Amino acid sequence: MSMEVCVLASGSGGNCTVVRTPSGIVLVDAGIGPRTAAARMNGTGATLRDISAICLTHLDRDHFSPMWANTIISRRIRVFCHAARVEALIATCPEIAEHVSAFDQSFEPFAGMFMHPIELAHDHDGSHGFLIEGFECRIGYATDLGRVTRELIERFVDLDVLAIESN
């Protein structure tokens, strides 16, 4: 298996995508609650217990729901957030502070999976797409794509999967 992608939710009601790899499972965004995510994961080969990390594109309510706090704490899930937004995330959900890791460049949620952030022009607070690499696979992921930037076009080449949501 390389990497598998399953979009659980996309839109103003919530955004959440499962990326399954041989080393673990990452959610890109968590804008739906854990119960809803668990129900939608049924049949994907992933469960709530399998989630190792959550990588946030930005902090709009439809991309991160504080309803995840108890699950993050009890499952010891790492939450990756852009360095410029960590303070705002912790202000919104202070109980998860020790589980939050900042990124401002490429990072590795777990062995063999690399997330390369790409700044997007969604709002004044900042939003990021990701080039996700590992396990002989390349995935382009961008949500709330208001417009396509030159950097996005340059980075989203030779992909195995492309996931784009725009509004």
Q: Beta strand pairing status for 51-55 and 24-28? A: parallel
95: Cβ–Cβ under 8 A, 6 or more apart, which residues?
69, 73
Longest CA pairwise span in the chain (Å): 41
Domains of the chain: 4-164 (3.60.15.10)
Q: What share of the chain has pLDDT > 90, as a percent?
A: 82
Instruction: Please give the pLDDT value at position 116.
Output: 97
Q: Is 162:156 a contact under the CB 8 Å cutoff? A: yes
At 84-122, the pLDDT tens digits run 999 999 999 999 999 999 999 999 999 999 999 998 876
Confidence band of 167 (pLDDT split at 50, 70, 90): low
Residue type at 65? S
Mean pLDDT rounded to a whole number for the chain: 93
Per-residue pLDDT tens over the stretch 130-152: 999 999 999 999 988 877 888 88
